[in-house]
Amino acid sequence: MTQQTRLRHMGWLAVLSVCTVFYLALHLKVHAVQSEVVRSERQIVALQTEKSMLETEFETRANQEQLASWNRIDFGYTAPAAAQFVENERQLAMFGTPRAAGAPAPILVAAIGEGDKPPPFAKFVSPLGRPVDGQLIDASARGDEQGSRPSATISIPLAAAIGNVRE
């Protein structure tokens, strides 16, 4: 190889190196601008969220002012005083009145005692958590037939699993 060829190869290598350095600098600049754009977009989204929250609060406070105005002018409601609060259930019961003569009996909580027999098919529950109507279950599964035992698998129609639907 001659001196001139070597210099030409070294020149091309130098030009390639300079181009690579400029490419890397440009790539880093593009990446910096891109991350700045992403940061700006996130800031815009945060500001839009804050704006909507402030608009909601402004509307809420305006509604509160309107309600306070209506209260002062039309209704005259005031905040409860400390003497208006009751301390226990007995004080609350003193405000009640006795039942009228034709009033229905109060609703009581039902419970099954130890000797009571649970209702038939109380253990069958649909996948949706609803109790299954016993009339929809096959007679062989119920054991209604003479001398038959309940089978290991129970055939429940889809209508029974969905809800209280009769076939």
- Using the structure block, give the residue that is written with the tokens 């593009």: 30
- Provide the terminal-to-terminal Cα distance of the chain, rounded to the nearest Å: 99
| Helices and strands, counts by H and E, the chain | 4, 0
* In-domain check, residue 63: no
Q: Which domain holds residue 152?
A: 121-167
Greater confidence, 123 or 22? 22
* In-domain check, residue 164: yes
pLDDT at residue 153 greater than cutoff 80 = no
pLDDT at residue 87 greater than cutoff 80 = yes
* Predicted confidence band of residue 41 (pLDDT cuts 50, 70, 90): very high
pTM: 0.35
Mean pLDDT for the stretch of residues 16-43: 96
Q: How far is CA 41 from CA 44, 55, 73, in A?
A: 5, 21, 48
* In-domain check, residue 59: no
User: What pLDDT is recorded for position 162?
Assistant: 59
User: What pLDDT is recorded for position 103?
Assistant: 86
* In-domain check, residue 53: no
**Total structural domains within the chain:** 1
